[in-house]
Amino acid sequence: MLAKKVAKLINEQVTLEFYSAYLYLDMANFYADQGLEGFAHWFEIQTQEERDHALLMRTYLLNNGVHVTFGTIHQPDKEFKALIDPLEAALEHEQYITGCINKIYGAAAEEKDYRTMQCFNWFVKEQGEEEKNVGDLIKKFKLFGSDPKGLYALDQELLARVYTAPSLVL
């Protein structure tokens, strides 16, 4: 049985993960409008991954007999102007989500909820990867993004990104 506090935090996180999916799809829309298909595709895959996170957490709660409720998914309200804006906003968002995941992990540790800690080891690691991925993309954008040929090559590279299902199995 999960402690109430832990279950509540994970339940709230389900909605936040769906919000992340929504936010990244909004970023994909921005790039699609600019004709940057590769960037749009990269964010569409981010959306799929966030949806996966939400579904995994939902399944984890259900498997542990927790009733799942969904919160309101807020409208993405950031105005993007420069091409780098969504990338920087995505990094900021991932850093925020890392804090949320750490809070869940911390609460589980406090409650000696080893099952949740074991499950959330995956999410802790995943956040490290997510921050690195978008951080690397920002670096590349800063190096090549101001040159049209460089931007085109980067867009083509991002177009090749392939969705992979999460390695966490519940």
* Contact set with ligand OFO (CB under 6 A): 17, 20, 50, 53, 94, 97, 130
Identify which of residues 11 and 20 has a Cβ nearer to ligand OFO in the complex. Answer: 20
Best CA proximity match to 102, nearest among 136, 128, 71: 128
Number of H helices, E strands in the chain: 5, 0
Identify which of residues 20 and 155 has a Cβ nearer to ligand OFO in the complex. Answer: 20
Identify which of residues 4 and 132 has a Cβ nearer to ligand OFO in the complex. Answer: 132
d(CA 129, CA 30): 24
Residue 74 near residue 30, CB atoms below 8 Å: no
Identify which of residues 44 and 130 has a Cβ nearer to ligand OFO in the complex. Answer: 130
Q: How far is the CB of 150 from ligand OFO (least distance, A)?
A: 27
Q: How far is the CB of 68 from ligand OFO (least distance, A)?
A: 17
Q: How far is the CB of 131 from ligand OFO (least distance, A)?
A: 9
In the 8-state DSSP scheme, what is residue 65?
A: T
Q: How far is the CB of 127 from ligand OFO (least distance, A)?
A: 6
Q: Which structure tokens are listed for 49?
A: 């991954």
Residue 99 near residue 12, CB atoms below 8 Å: no
Q: How far is the CB of 97 from ligand OFO (least distance, A)?
A: 4
Best CA proximity match to 49, nearest among 90, 8, 6: 90
Identify which of residues 26 and 130 has a Cβ nearer to ligand OFO in the complex. Answer: 130
Residue 41: which H helix or E strand, with range? Answer: helix 37-63
